[in-house]
Structure 1
Amino acid sequence: EVDRSIVTSSAQSSPAAPAASDQDSDQTTIGNAVSSADIKELGGQTVPWANAGTGSRGAITEMVELKDGGLTCRRFSATRESFDGVALYKGEL
């Protein structure tokens, strides 16, 4: 008969959700990369980004500049590769 009274280890069955502060920090890093990029010079090239504080990284693509009511905005797509997985975001600054 198997003795089930002894437990040698245990593991959480589902991964923990990423800390909100890590996501906020990554969003700030992506926003800084988008706002500082020279869109004309890039000519549609992908802009890589990395956040040493969280270990996340990714790429910004499809960056376009729009004028709306006298304001200049930038629309973009960004990937985020981190310890909790890979995600695709669409954003506007």
Structure 2
Amino acid sequence: MSRIAQPFDSRQWSLIASASAQAAVKVAIVLVALPLAACGAGGFSLEQAEVDRTILTSSTPAAASPIDQDRASDQATIRNAVSSADIQELGGQAVPWANSDTGSRGSITELAESRDNGQLCRRFTASRESFDGVALFKGEVCLAGAGAWRMQDFKAL
């Protein structure tokens, strides 16, 4: 009879069991040895971590966003409308303004003129309707000299 056709011998269990035990011991030794080898090799430590100074990066200056440019353009348009308004003829009426460059528009109200330390100034409240929403601002423009008006204060409410 050939070896394949022989019936299973119960004595072979001991051979199978000893082979399985030997394989399990080898696996256990490897599993214990790997972490120990990593510790012996230095491993990873946050105390030993340093900044890599060999990598060089650079940045570019942040460009002004279109919204900021639009707001500055609208601010200049409002300044021009406030400085050119005839307060006595208005009689408390709102002054409309529109900026064709940005598509924004609004109205200027509560326009009042005063002299602070000999300097002519105009205080106002302005609304601004644009693609990014509606806002209300308080501001002040003052005559700087040679007929030029300068925005002294312009803040959102």
Give the TM-score taking structure 1 as reference length.
0.80
Shift of 1:19: 1.7
For residues 3-43 of structure 1, the C-alpha deviation after alignment (integer angstroms, 9 at most, x for no partner) is xxxxxxxxxxxxxx862110000000000000000000100
User: Following the alignment from structure 1 to structure 2, what is the Cα–Cα distance between the partners of residues 66 and 29?
Assistant: 21
Aligned length: 77
Partner of 1:48: 96
Partner of 2:131: 83
Partner of 1:63: 111
Judge conservation of contact 1:65–1:74 (CA < 8 Å) in 2. Answer: yes
User: Following the alignment from structure 2 to structure 1, what is the Cα–Cα distance between the partners of residues 91 and 74?
Assistant: 24
Judge conservation of contact 1:77–1:90 (CA < 8 Å) in 2. Answer: yes
Secondary structure at 1:45 match in 2: coil
User: Following the alignment from structure 1 to structure 2, what is the Cα–Cα distance between the partners of residues 22 and 31?
Assistant: 14
User: Following the alignment from structure 1 to structure 2, what is the Cα–Cα distance between the partners of residues 84 and 91?
Assistant: 20
Higher helix fraction (1 or 2): 2
User: Following the alignment from structure 2 to structure 1, what is the Cα–Cα distance between the partners of residues 134 and 121?
Assistant: 26
Secondary structure at 1:44 match in 2: coil
5+ residue gaps, structure 2, are 1-64, 142-157
Partner of 1:29: 77
User: Following the alignment from structure 1 to structure 2, what is the Cα–Cα distance between the partners of residues 49 and 82?
Assistant: 12
Higher strand fraction (1 or 2): 1
Q: Which aligned runs of 4 or more in structure 1 are off by greater than 4 angstroms?
A: none
User: Following the alignment from structure 2 to structure 1, what is the Cα–Cα distance between the partners of residues 71 and 116?
Assistant: 28
Choose between structure 1 and 2 for higher RCO, CA contacts under 8 A separated by at least 6 residues: 1
Partner of 1:39: 87
Give the TM-score taking structure 2 as reference length.
0.48
Match of 1:20 among 48, 68, 74: 68
Q: Percent identity?
A: 69
State the one-letter code of the partner of 1:32.
N
Q: Which has the larger radius of gyration?
A: 2
